Amino acid sequence: MRIKLANLISTWFGCGYAPKAPGTAGSIAALAIGILLHEYAGFTQWQFAILAAVTLIPAVWAAGVTAIASGIKDPQFVVIDEVIGTWIALAGALSYNWKSYLAALALFRLFDIWKPIPVRQLEALPGGWGINLDDVMAGVYAALVLFLAGRFNLY
């Protein structure tokens, strides 16, 4: 039961089992939820940041349990980290429209794949912490760029 729950959370309800680009699939699912939360519940920057922060501890637990159960240090099918990173990126938007949504997704995926310092170094942390915190930092970078772009009215 514990492993099944961890798999459900860590794969973000199965998104991690997408046959191609599971991380991008997880990010797109997080973006879709983010759009719905903004459009229908009025979520703002702070609420996206809080949502990501509240999700982090269950994500660390679930990713750690799934990694141990699978015998893989950082399984590609664990995408809860991409969900959190995408929500952090959304927290950097000064306004929400198709441009900012697309920019949040693209910037987060860019920093997640590129892994500038200290994103790559955070991957070395043990268990679920290493799986999640590199994406948290990638999300922070994306949020900062999105915030600055918004200050220059680029979206």
pLDDT of 79-92, one tens digit each?
Answer: 999 999 999 999 99
pTM, to two decimals: 0.97
Dihedral sign computed on CA atoms, order 76, 80, 81, 82: positive
Cβ contact 56:132 at 8 Å: yes
Closest CA to 93 of 35, 7, 8: 35
Domain ranges in the chain are 22-151
Each residue of 122-136: pLDDT tens digit? 999 999 999 999 999
